[in-house]
Structure 1
Amino acid sequence: MSGEGDIPQAIRKLAPGQLVIASHNSGKVREIAELLGPYGIEPVSAADLDLPEPEETGTTFVANAELKARIAADLSGLPALADDSGLCVDALGGDPGIFSARWAGESKDFGHAMRLVEDRLNEEPDQPRDAHFVCALALAWPDGHVEWFEGRVDGTLVWPPRGGNGFGYDAMFLPVGGTETFGEMDADAKHAVSHRADAFRQLVAAVL
């Protein structure tokens, strides 16, 4: 297992073939499929396999990713990769954090979620707008073995949101040193710097 800043030391390699992407978020599935494309992996989403969307009861990104990966691997009989990620805003004590998707409600309205973040920041004048995205990846096999990796990208929040690319909170997140939000970047530019790409670099080095 590996975490942010560690040299990946995987116990098991992932063989080419089918891999379940344990997510019902089409944006995440698309990004993960793009990142896996060069490695002979055949991604299939949990939605395509009609797998249930488990309740995320973990208290950390890693715990939730592992929970989702283990369930998908067990039900499908295939290796499964799960991502748990979110936006952590310093001035909000790390919120929305692991509850990032839940702030968007059952309708997955991230326009509402971004507005909620902005409203919370505006409750006190001159709140700092520092934030970071975290991505935890858990790779589980049907026999119960799990590898995990965690990536991070730091930035600030802008308002109003900018750009129609990406998903989630991307349109209000400006990475450190950047001039475009994740919502304005094309896929290649985002993959070069994102939290998900950081975690994937660790995963690729360890298991592929």
Structure 2
Amino acid sequence: MSGESKEPQAIRKLAPGRLVIASHNEGKVREIAALLEGRGLEVVSAKQLDLPEPEETGTTFVMNAELKARAAADLSGLVALADDSGLCVDALGGDPGIFSARWGGEDRDFGRAMALVEEKLAAIDDAPRDAHFVCALALAWPDGHVEWFEGRVDGTLVWPPRGDKGHGYDPVFQPIGRTETFGEIDEAEKNDISHRGDAFRQMVAAVF
């Protein structure tokens, strides 16, 4: 499988046609659709197809992305793209990591999730605020073939949250070299520097 190199060589190319985004997160689907614009793909979300969300039982971002992509491809009969991403905070031992969405509770309230991260950091004396986002992409075909790619962006955490753009933990994440949080950066600009943008550049170079 691909993903270990900045210049991955995919075994299989992605042909134009319908592509399922294996997500029910509308913000994530919107970002992914923008990144795929102009590639000859008709993007449809798992939510639009009424596909169930599989239980994320993997222990890594790549494993969770792959199981979501495989499930969507199996149920839809179409090529499916899944993204598993999250915030990793150094002082918290990499948490929330693969559990990033689940830190918001059953309703995935990211306001609650961001407050929980801040609460845990505040309980640690002189805790460093270094953090990074990871994005793993898995592209699965109905016959079981999978390609995967992984991107990353480093930064620091701010409090209180700033900005109403993006989604998830974006309002508390300030990428290195910037004074704005992801919540304050326009989507197109964010895609140029984000973990998701990094993973997508790898994917585009490999499968198109």
Please confirm whether the aligned pair reaches a TM-score higher than 0.5, indicating the same fold: yes
- The CA distance in 1 between the partners of 2:142 and 2:2, in whole Å, is 20
What residue in structure 1 maps to residue 17 of structure 2? 17
C-alpha offsets along residues 157-185 of structure 1, whole Å, 9 cap, x if unaligned? Answer: 00000000000000000000011100000
Which consecutive unaligned segments of at least 5 residues does structure 2 have?
none
What residue in structure 2 maps to residue 194 of structure 1? 194
State yes or no: 1:118 paired with 2:86: no
C-alpha offsets along residues 139-164 of structure 1, whole Å, 9 cap, x if unaligned? Answer: 00000000000000000000000000
What residue in structure 1 maps to residue 77 of structure 2? 77
Preserved contact between residue 80 and residue 139 of structure 1 (Cα < 8 Å): yes
Which consecutive unaligned segments of at least 5 residues does structure 1 have?
none
What residue in structure 1 maps to residue 161 of structure 2? 161
Q: CA deviation at 1:4?
A: 4.8
Aligned residue type for 2:86:
G
Aligned residue type for 2:31:
E
What residue in structure 2 maps to residue 144 of structure 1? 144
Aligned residue type for 2:15:
A
Preserved contact between residue 86 and residue 98 of structure 1 (Cα < 8 Å): yes
Q: Give the TM-score, by structure 1 length.
A: 0.98
C-alpha offsets along residues 20-69 of structure 1, whole Å, 9 cap, x if unaligned? Answer: 00000001100000000121111100000000000000000000000000
Q: Give the TM-score, by structure 2 length.
A: 0.98
Structure 1 vs Structure 2 CA RMSD: 0.7
- The CA distance in 2 between the partners of 1:5 and 1:113, in whole Å, is 32
Q: CA deviation at 1:6?
A: 3.8
Aligned residue type for 1:43:
V
Indicate how the Cα distance of structure 1 residues 101 and 76 shifts in structure 2: closer, same or farther if over 3 A, else same.
same
Aligned residue type for 1:32:
I
What residue in structure 1 maps to residue 185 of structure 2? 185
Q: CA deviation at 1:106?
A: 1.1
SS of the residue corresponding to residue 156 of structure 1 reads: strand
- The CA distance in 1 between the partners of 2:44 and 2:93, in whole Å, is 36
What residue in structure 2 maps to residue 127 of structure 1? 127
1:23-102 alignment, distance < 5 Å: 23-102=23-102
